[in-house]
Chains A and B, each alone.
Chain A
Amino acid sequence: MQKITREQLIQKASELLENGTVSAVLGWGIGEFDYDVTPTVFSTVEELRNGFVFNDFCGANFSKYLVKKTDKIEGKILVFLKPCDTYSFNQLLTEHRFDREKVYAVGIPCEGMADIAKVKAISGDGIAAIGSNGDKLTVTTLYADEPVVIAANDVLAERCINCKSKKHVAYDELMGEEGEVIESNRFDEVARLEAMTADERFAFWQNELSRCIRCNACRDACPACTCEKCVFDNPNSGVENKSPANEFEEKLFHIIRAYHVAGRCTDCGECSRVCPQNIPLHLLNRKFIKDMNDFYGEYQAGAEVGSRAPLVDYTTEDLEPGEVFDRRENNA
């Protein structure tokens, strides 16, 4: 389903490695199966040939890796960025989290990534191979006699269904065609929850958050979470907890996590992708984004380097915290 192929990317990376533009390549490493892809640093053309992969399961956002990798590597590192990744890339630059001079960014088009859980829900478990052919995935399993053919659109990851932009906002070089910012319906689910009663919303989140195992994957994968020491890891903070001892701690963690990236969150959706318990964490982030668009004007984090996020800005005419609710009731 991707328009750009593994071979094209390997060729591009090989060229840049060989002509000395970059000394390493941050890309997707092949896994045991056709869907378990690991972010990997490649240093030679041979490594690329043997281990580089690009398919419908390359969802990981590489931007955050640049914070650590640019420190380690001599020369430039090549990074392949999907449109959504470029927003995180810019946001990290805005926050001076890595040296732009040490990165060679290649924008690549993305047709949306697949969610393996959705694939399995259709094909059944026991996947032997997944092939891609146009807009179809062909899934061979251990249990079905015939391969199952699935429309790629039916197994799109949630964040890709509501893709906000196919446009790259940062790159040194672009492969394929540039896309456009998309009018997405990404706030619909937030609006649906807002329309519920407080009791219903409470029950909804109680159910979702009760599954949290506090693995911190949402935080650790988040390109906006780059504090050197997180308050939740600091034994002296008084809130450091390795497990949610009760419902309060579940809420505390998730409110503060979302709040801390409010205004900086580009809505890349990594938090929900990595959650082992399928908690729709992106809804918390989107709530903040929606509110801030609503209260202070449209703002897209990462759209440009150096922009001022709503929570580090103000006007003298801002609305009062108490007016937030009246406003919603009037709008409804």
Chain B
Amino acid sequence: MRKCSLEKINLLFKEIAKNAELYLPQDQTDGSAAYKKWEEGSVWSNALNTVRSPKDFFFPQTEDLMAFKTEGKNIEVIDTRKALDDFVIFGVRACDVKSFDILDRVFLSEPVDSFYALRRSHGVIISLACSKPSETCFCKTFGINPAEPTGDISAWKTETDIFFESNTQKGKELLEKLSALTEECDDTAVVDQKAKIDAIMQKLPLKDLKTDAFGGGKTGELFNAPEWDELSEACLGCGTCTFVCPTCQCYDIKDFNTGNGVIRFRCWDSCMYSDFTKMAHGNNRLTQKERFRQRFMHKLVYYPENNDGLFSCVGCGRCLVKCPISMNIVKVMKKIGGKKGE
């Protein structure tokens, strides 16, 4: 384990940024935090987490896939992929690190998504333990420990220092490069902080949320549950929950006519939208109830069915904070799960 004084943190950022682009949560003018590229003078945010999740780094909201140019009867296909340099994402919380595993299972299983794979292979993740989880946090429900974040390097921040432990070869190499600014140390302070986090976790209001009622094979049982009507009643059909979610991975592929060619791009899609997965025959989910149900069934039933029981939610709580009408996965789990959800 190595540590660095918080007084020297900017020197550390500078050192990392010498070799790779460094992104870390920074405060925006509206008071919320977002991952921004580190530049001289950038200030690391104190916020618990960013509004947008770090999935953007691997699966950006819009991305060009290819372009076409037509001349007479010829169509030229242009590969828009660009070479990518290594980049470092600093301060990723345990929940968000776990979300990368969930995305990996979608994008890195055959056929591999080469756009995602390229970004993933160039990203180095420095995670950060949560010393002050929010009341909206429920990562524990999904087996995530905010005191033990994974990623290439794990970090713990105390009042005075920041501690690092590498978990992968990539992480080890990066830590070695930072050896001039860090010093070897024992793990007393970190053990102490882990205990504090564990104690807080026992006090969180959502600590007892259970997933027992959900998982693969529950489609028949849950699909026609009468509770969906009531739960979806107030849903506005906006895409806030899906767009702030670190694990939502649905996208649409569209063509943009530039006037002198076509750009084929993909962009995030939301199951909450009326034209989600619209096909030639029309739309297969006609009501907001069906669209609403799709989102939660996907996270709690369909995904685990295809992925060894792994749920596609990490309990980051973004949707709890941001939903305009405060309807969210926790309320769904408690209502549908009934007694089992308590």
Contact = CB atoms under 8 A, between A and B. Distances in A.
Interface of A: 29, 31-33, 36-41, 60, 65, 117, 121, 125-128, 142-143, 207-208, 211, 213-217, 219-221, 229, 233, 235, 240-245, 273-274, 276-279
Contacts of A244: 61-62
Contact of A277 (B30, B61, B233, B324): B30
Contact of A142 (B203, B230, B238): B203
Contacts of B29: 207-208
A241 B326 CA distance: 26
Interface size class of B (residues with CB under 8 A): 35 or more
Contact of A276 (B51, B203, B269): B51
20 contacts: A33-B136, A38-B325, A38-B331, A128-B135, A128-B203, A128-B205, A142-B203, A142-B204, A211-B30, A215-B238, A215-B243, A215-B244, A215-B270, A220-B237, A229-B274, A274-B236, A274-B240, A276-B243, A276-B244, A277-B51
User: Is chain A's interface secondary structure helix, strand, loop, or mixed overall?
Assistant: loop
Contacts of B30: 208, 211, 277-279
Contacts of B34: 211
Given A60-B325, A211-B28, A278-B32, A233 B273 contact: yes
B267 interface: yes
Contacts of A245: 62, 256, 265, 267
B178 interface: no
Contact of B243 (A38, A60, A213, A219): A213
Nearest to A207: B29
Nearest to B251: A242
Interface of B: 28-32, 34, 48, 51-52, 61-62, 132-136, 200, 203-206, 230, 233-234, 236-240, 242-244, 252, 254, 256, 265, 267-270, 273-275, 278, 320, 322, 324-328, 330-331
Contact of B233 (A32, A40, A117, A276): A40
Given A241-B267, A277-B30, A39 B133 contact: no
Nearest to B231: A38
A220 B241 CA distance: 13
